[in-house]
A and B are shown apart, each in its own frame.
Chain A
Amino acid sequence: MGTVEYIQHHLTNNTIGEGFWTFNMDTIVISFLLGALIVLTAARMGKSLQAGTPGGFQNFVESILDFVSTNVRDAFPGHNPLIAPLALTIFIWVWLMNFMDLIPVDLVPYLYQLITGDHHAYLKIVPTTDLNTTLAMAFAVFALIIYYNIKIKGLGGFIKMFLFHPFGKFFVPVNVVMTLIEEVSKPLSLALRLFGNMFAGELVFLLIALIGGTLAVGAAALFWAPLQVLLDLGWLIFHLLVITLQAFIFMVLTIVYLGMAHDEGH
């Protein structure tokens, strides 16, 4: 298998259906499994919550909760009981989906091919390298932004924001275009940033994996295989930062955008 085919194979989803009604089964199943993992772990922990002396895992989860609620307090004016759980969900779910990136790139597809017996079966295990996942979250956040814009400012206030912002009443057409771009760029930047980072990260992992795969022939493997291990380890450690940072950025921007939607003075 050539280099190009190898990479393309790894970046193709396992799909069912055709045209728009295509379902990326790997994305859906893995993100559902990770979501279920969050819910089940939380439910299991919920049975043995300790008020006075929290144990190891509860302590860990509490520190995440504390971290998220601190961010919400810092970036979100006023009070909305939806924001903190929303931010928490984004942070944990995105982080877990990103974390799939750190599993050796060939491991899960290889196992899947063994199980199904189909040696050309596609499997892309990082849901956040699928634009559908990142856009889905971004659209959900966008819907909330519009909902709270209208709820807090009123329909009139929302339209007024489009007409008179940012240049005042003499530039109404310009204002409409500017505000439209500003609003639409919010979900797009959210989705594309996460997607781009994860996709690029995955690509680098694939390229590093190729070092051993294509160049390590015979005695040369003595040189290339350790290099691959070293590079993989380096990129893995760096990527551990990236996945956390991207999950954090998605969360914080969601909080900030919703905070702007709640800001009446705008």
Chain B
Amino acid sequence: MSINATLLIQIIAFVLLVWFVNKVLWGPLSKLMEERQKKIADGLSAAEKGKHELELAEQKAKEVLKDAKAQAQNILSQAEKRGSEIVEDAKVKANEEADRIKAAAQAEIAQEVSRAREDLRKEVASLVVTGAEKILKKEVDAAVHNDMLDTLVKSI
């Protein structure tokens, strides 16, 4: 149990063992563990980043969707407005056309009436002349009596 030269041997053994342990056990293994730790930390931060990016993308998608909806609404309301405009236009045009056709028909009718009246007057005049000729049994000079006949015709 006494102190002896074993002490020196054990000191040398201890120092050598520390050196060996550092070389074959601590060195490689702690390096490995450090690298793994770094890898895990990197992975975690990448995942965090990915999550953040996903959030941003989702937000952006929402905005785009909102924009698209608003645009669609806009287009729809414009189309409605345009449609009603077209209908309104068509109505106005149809009315105008109808008025025009009515006016033309009325003018034609008026023309027809006046023409018929003219024809009738002429017929009456010739009838009157013929009648008068028969009554007088003599020829009536149409040229001489034209003025009188005109007055007669007009009075019909």
Asked if A43 and B33 sit within 8 Å, CB to CB, the answer is no
Q: A22-B6, A49-B32 are in contact. Are A136 and B11 (CB under 8 A)?
A: yes
Q: Which residues of B contact A137 (CB under 8 A)?
A: 10, 14
The interface size bin for chain B is 20 to 34
Indicate with 1 or 0, residue by residue over A71-82, a CB within 8 angstroms of chain B CB atoms: 000000000001
Chain B at the A interface: SS class: helix
Q: Is A123 part of the contact surface with B, judged by Cβ < 8 Å?
A: no
Residue of B nearest to A134 (CB): B10
**Which among A51, A82, A86, A132 is the interface contact of B10 at CB below 8 angstroms?**
A132
Asked if B17 and A39 sit within 8 Å, CB to CB, the answer is yes
Q: Which of B14-44 contact A (CB under 8 A)?
A: 14-18, 20-22, 24-30, 32-33, 35-36
Q: Which residues of A contact B15 (CB under 8 A)?
A: 140
Bound-complex Cα distance A22 to B16 (A)? 21
Q: Which of A54-92 contact B (CB under 8 A)?
A: 58, 61-62, 65-66, 69, 82, 84-86, 88-89, 92
Bound-complex Cα distance A86 to B14 (A)? 10
Q: Is A246 part of the contact surface with B, judged by Cβ < 8 Å?
A: no
Asked if A89 and B18 sit within 8 Å, CB to CB, the answer is yes
Asked if A23 and B33 sit within 8 Å, CB to CB, the answer is no
Q: Which residues of A contact B35 (CB under 8 A)?
A: 51
**Which among A23, A35, A39, A49 is the interface contact of B28 at CB below 8 angstroms?**
A49
Binds B, one of A25-33, A160-168, A177-185, A226-234: A25-33
Bound-complex Cα distance A203 to B81 (A)? 107
30 contacts between A and B (CB under 8 A): A11-B1, A17-B5, A20-B5, A21-B5, A23-B6, A24-B6, A28-B13, A31-B10, A38-B25, A39-B20, A39-B24, A42-B21, A42-B24, A43-B24, A46-B25, A58-B29, A82-B22, A84-B30, A85-B25, A89-B14, A89-B17, A89-B21, A130-B1, A132-B7, A133-B6, A135-B3, A136-B9, A136-B11, A136-B13, A136-B14
- What residues of chain A have their CB less than 8 Å away from a CB belonging to chain B? 11, 13, 17, 19-24, 27-28, 31-32, 35, 38-39, 42-43, 46, 49, 51-52, 58, 61-62, 65-66, 69, 82, 84-86, 88-89, 92-93, 127, 130-133, 135-137, 139-140
